[in-house]
Amino acid sequence: MVLTGPCGADAWYIESHDEDDPMEIVKRLSTNLMGPPLLVHSTSWRRGPGGVFLSFLVVIGEDQAPDLES
């Protein structure tokens, strides 16, 4: 297992509007950056300053995102 993304292994912090579907946002951003994910799963949530923080796990294929830092 390798953690990767536009910020390497660091978390992505994304703001959304009340009417947005967080699952669709994560799926769209992942697809735009790395191609269609194999799985998008909401793992947890917690209240934070100014809103709710959601955590997601995105599973991609081995051939996706080879150039992204991990």
The amino acid that residue 51 corresponds to is: G
For 28, the domain range is: 22-59
Q: Is the pLDDT of residue 70 over 90?
A: no
pTM (2 d.p.) = 0.78
12 domain-assigned: no
Cα–Cα distances in angstroms (integers) from residue 51 to residues 1, 4, 41, in the given order: 31, 26, 20
Residue 32 counted as domain residue: yes
Q: Each residue of 6-32: pLDDT tens digit?
A: 777 888 888 888 899 999 999 999 999
Q: Is residue 7 part of a domain?
A: no
- Six token digits for residue 12: 């992505």
Q: Are 16 and 22 in contact (CB under 8 A)?
A: yes
In a domain, 28, yes or no: yes
Would you say 57 and 41 are in contact if contact means Cβ atoms under 8 Å apart?
A: yes
The token pair at 42 is 């909401």
Considering its fold, how many domains does the chain have in total?
A: 1
Q: Confirm if 36 and 55 have CB atoms less than 8 A apart.
A: no
